Amino acid sequence: MKPLQSYNSEEIEALELALKNEYNEYKSKNLKLDMSRGKPSTKQLDISIDMLHILENNKDYFDENGTDCRNYGLLDGIPEAKRFFAELLDISPEEIIIGGNSSLNMMYDTIARAMTHGVLGSEKPWFKYDKIKFLCPSPGYDRHFGICAHFNIEMITIDMLEDGPDMDKIEKLVSEDETIKGIWCVPKYSNPEGKTYSDEVVRRFANLKPKATDFRIFWDNAYAWHHLSDKHDEILNIFDECRKAGTENMVFEYASTSKVTFPGAGVALLAASVPNVSFIKKQLIVQTIGPDKLNQLRHVKYFKDANGLYEHMKKHGEILKPKFNCVLQTLKNELDGYEVAEWNSPRGGYFVSLNTMDGCAKRTLRLLKEAGVVMTSAGATFPYGVDKRDRNIRIAPTFPPLEELETAMKLFCICVKLASCEKILSNL
Amino acid sequence: MKPLQSYNSEEIEALELALKNEYNEYKSKNLKLDMSRGKPSTKQLDISIDMLHILENNKDYFDENGTDCRNYGLLDGIPEAKRFFAELLDISPEEIIIGGNSSLNMMYDTIARAMTHGVLGSEKPWFKYDKIKFLCPSPGYDRHFGICAHFNIEMITIDMLEDGPDMDKIEKLVSEDETIKGIWCVPKYSNPEGKTYSDEVVRRFANLKPKATDFRIFWDNAYAWHHLSDKHDEILNIFDECRKAGTENMVFEYASTSKVTFPGAGVALLAASVPNVSFIKKQLIVQTIGPDKLNQLRHVKYFKDANGLYEHMKKHGEILKPKFNCVLQTLKNELDGYEVAEWNSPRGGYFVSLNTMDGCAKRTLRLLKEAGVVMTSAGATFPYGVDKRDRNIRIAPTFPPLEELETAMKLFCICVKLASCEKILSNL
């Protein structure tokens, strides 16, 4: 196989014709497959099914302090749930606020409260500024960007490098502009590239010297325990590094069991310094009487401790590893040598990120959609939905069964090649 | 027994001394009882315990459309849950958004979103006004007032009359002032007075002609099904009346199963016109991926339909009726004739509201607290925590066992009489 760019026009046209025939064959199969989101598969959900029945074997619904978890109370969670997550994140239980079933909702709430009331250290609520800005390492998570767009927060795209976002740029920007109030990070197995921030990157984050007194790092540790195999990434504990730098108040960390137990019925949490936690709890008490404690109890009784969760995550890895292998193997088999795409091989997380030749992502995904397979929209992984180079595609292999995934990936590779041919021909 | 006001000073001093002796006897018992919130008792929680195990008998976790309730999806709830609540509230399923476990949180969210983005029909977000105002029928629910205070919304106290709030005043104010954006209502078995709005009041609400195009009635139907016996109040369906008046967009109705199943793990909802629901869902999709669907499924499988819930509520009534009787009987036995207090006899809800002589509520509750019984703070039932006449006390009889309640109420009556004696003596 030789690089597509080196083909002459006859060769390209011949390849395009052959690909079109292949494509039409797939199209006639009337596929219908939604790979747009990072959803666990049914098999993965079945792993945790015993958790739903864990309270039946234990007729008491009381937490370790005797609080009836069925009743009102405990704004920030039951003590054993705080301790459980504290162990998982290697911080102290006092640094944890347990929420409902969605860490996204907790991030949204954090920013909504900051807009109307500011965060600890704010001179004024964020809405009092004509314009505030967030840094957005990209490609990144579309729902992070959606929150910014909703609150009219200007998004500044930061390139993702091999070991994390472009720290030179981040350090410069935050030190100069006091309207930069935050940055979105998925530090481990990043969405969508599956990259894990290096020790140096984490240390540089902890040592940021923002001009804004109320700048916050939104550390969305969504895939903290989501390894594909025993060979997994490690990441420094940002709070440890912040303590050394005296910047503990600069970080809001989020995590959840959405992709550990049930996406629809997991437990989410916010981790932050004790002063941040105190500040937030004073606002939170106006907002709610407290999250679902029975579901916290289910989780703690089921996992018992961090090790219980780590063992559990291995089962997810066993289901996911073959799917990621299928994606990577198909990409390799079908695209290697053409030099029309690059992709990562993550050791965890939920995605494979692929870059086509510039200007080919939208076309690839339109071709794919017309043949019945939906992936995350092109551009979604960038602020404002605009990928200037129109090349990034987020592949979410987790939900479909392996056989369907294999079909979808073969079709996907045809679409990538077809879009590349069209592009090269149009440039001739 | 003759009215305390007609006692001469010797008589009052003698009574005061006798009461003090009685009071000190109670004090020496070292009581420790928290009657500050409207919390269901353990017995009430036990009624619903089978709901926690309802999914175990049915190994499928799918809603009626086949959506896996364990996974992501369904921003506004599963169809059968929407239908269930629609039947209960006599509206259509399209008018319902299911939330998490807290209707308070849904009310807070509604106002938080209105502050930053406005509601349907807003010319601008509410925070763009120098000052906006809410009408607060009082005595009312302290957490409603807490949300206003949090967002710096000016609260205007509206007197509660026998059949609901003072509609003359409300009609006048909303028609004149476009910065009045909302009103808090607990229309059935109001908190704390247990009053139910008359048909005329509901119709006048539906026919309000507010100057603000984005005025909203926050119809917190917290006690919709919470009768103490078969003799229960009825209330007009405000949406029916609004439809006649063409004002369907003016109402946000809230309800939950917090006091039906579990306060910590119930299901809450917002009901509103279809245009309101569409407007809100566009914002909600930024906020969360969706509430806990498994818990919705538990509720629907357990109750099946509105009748199932009505039958269930009878069991609550059977537990609560004797407690309310105890409160009312003790008040009658101990206070009748002295003319130092007035109270209501509600047919549902969670409270008995008592007015002391002017200037005696704080003192009564301090005496009570010093003897070990905590009730909702004096003033809490009014905006800014200020009861100008210092007379309203919210008695929450639901949580304590009957025997403890009886003791607490006898002590309470002593405190009321003691505070009254002190007041009269100080005025002599």
CB pairs under 8 A between A and B: 147
Looking at CA atoms only, how far is residue B248 from chain A in angstroms? 26
Q: Is the pLDDT of residue A58 over 60?
A: no
Cβ-defined contact of A101 to B286 (cutoff 8 Å):
no
Q: Is the pLDDT of residue A63 over 80?
A: yes
Count the Cβ atoms, other than its own, within 10 Å of residue A127.
Answer: 18
Can you tell me the mean pLDDT for B112-139? 98
- Nearest-Cα residue of chain B relative to residue A148: B286
Can you tell me the mean pLDDT for A104-124? 98
Can you tell me the mean pLDDT for B276-289? 97
Name which of A55, A265, A286 is nearest B292 (Cβ-Cβ): A265
Among B26, B9, B3, residue whose Cα is nearest residue B415: B26
Name which of A72, A112, A113 is nearest B39 (Cβ-Cβ): A72
DSSP B51-88: GGGTTTT----B-TT--BTTSS--TT--HHHHHHHHHH
- Looking at B58-72, B105-119, B247-261, B262-276, which range is the least confident one? B58-72
Can you tell me the mean pLDDT for A59-88? 95
ipTM computed for the complex: 0.96
- Nearest-Cα residue of chain B relative to residue A125: B127
Mean pLDDT of chain B: 96
For the stretch B214-241, pLDDT in tens is 999 999 999 999 999 999 999 999 999 9
Count the Cβ atoms, other than its own, within 10 Å of residue B206.
Answer: 23
At B85 the pLDDT is: 98
Cα A268 to the center of its chain, rounded Å: 14
Tokens of A56: 């039946």
| pLDDT band, very low/low/confident/very high, at B49 (cuts 50, 70, 90) | very high
The separation between the first and the last C-alpha atoms of chain A, rounded to the nearest angstrom, is 21
At A57 the pLDDT is: 60
Strands B392-395, B352-356: pairing is antiparallel
- Nearest-Cα residue of chain B relative to residue A68: B42
Percent pLDDT > 70 in chain A is: 99
Cβ-defined contact of B101 to A100 (cutoff 8 Å):
yes
For the stretch B366-408, pLDDT in tens is 999 999 999 999 999 999 999 999 999 999 999 999 999 999 9
Q: Is the pLDDT of residue A192 over 60?
A: yes
Distance of alpha carbon B4 from alpha carbon B9, whole angstroms: 10
| pLDDT band, very low/low/confident/very high, at A427 (cuts 50, 70, 90) | confident
Distance of alpha carbon B422 from alpha carbon B366, whole angstroms: 13
Tokens of B388: 């100008």
Cβ-defined contact of A263 to B72 (cutoff 8 Å):
yes
Mutate to test the interface with B, among A35, A286, A294, A316 (most CBs of B within 10 A): A286
Cβ-defined contact of A265 to B294 (cutoff 8 Å):
yes
- Nearest-Cα residue of chain B relative to residue A40: B71
At B428 the pLDDT is: 80
Contacts with A144 from chain B: Cβ below 8 Å: none
Cβ-defined contact of B37 to A72 (cutoff 8 Å):
yes
For the stretch B36-45, pLDDT in tens is 999 999 999 9
Percent pLDDT > 90 in chain B is: 96
| pLDDT band, very low/low/confident/very high, at B1 (cuts 50, 70, 90) | confident
Can you tell me the mean pLDDT for A5-9? 93
At B311 the pLDDT is: 98
Looking at CA atoms only, how far is residue B411 from chain A in angstroms? 26
Name which of B115, B149, B288 is nearest A116 (Cβ-Cβ): B115
For the stretch A354-413, pLDDT in tens is 999 999 999 999 999 999 999 999 999 999 999 999 999 999 999 999 999 999 999 999
- Nearest-Cα residue of chain B relative to residue A145: B286
Mean pLDDT of chain A: 96
At B60 the pLDDT is: 79
Which helix (H) or strand (E) segment holds residue B135: the answer is strand B133-138
DSSP B250-291: GEEEEEESTTTS-TTS--EEEE--HHHHHHHHHHHHHH-S--
Token look-up 């025939």 returns A21
| pLDDT band, very low/low/confident/very high, at A334 (cuts 50, 70, 90) | very high
Distance of alpha carbon A340 from alpha carbon A420, whole angstroms: 7
Q: What counts of helices (H) and strands (E) characterise chain A? A: 13, 13
Mutate to test the interface with B, among A53, A71, A350 (most CBs of B within 10 A): A71
| pLDDT band, very low/low/confident/very high, at B58 (cuts 50, 70, 90) | low
- Give the three-class secondary structure for B100: coil
Cβ-defined contact of B291 to A101 (cutoff 8 Å):
yes
For the stretch A29-43, pLDDT in tens is 999 998 999 999 999
Distance of alpha carbon A129 from alpha carbon A117, whole angstroms: 12
Mutate to test the interface with B, among A57, A292, A296, A297 (most CBs of B within 10 A): A292
Cβ-defined contact of B68 to A53 (cutoff 8 Å):
no
DSSP A270: E
Contacts with B289 from chain A: Cβ below 8 Å: 102, 104, 263
Ramachandran angles phi, psi of B335, nearest 5°: -115, -20
Q: What counts of helices (H) and strands (E) characterise chain B? A: 13, 13
Can you tell me the mean pLDDT for B260-270? 97
| pLDDT band, very low/low/confident/very high, at B427 (cuts 50, 70, 90) | confident
Cβ-defined contact of B265 to A290 (cutoff 8 Å):
no
Name which of A69, A71, A258 is nearest B39 (Cβ-Cβ): A71
The separation between the first and the last C-alpha atoms of chain B, rounded to the nearest angstrom, is 21
At B57 the pLDDT is: 60
Cβ atoms of A293 and A101 within 8 Å: the answer is: no
Mutate to test the interface with A, among B47, B49, B67, B71 (most CBs of A within 10 A): B71
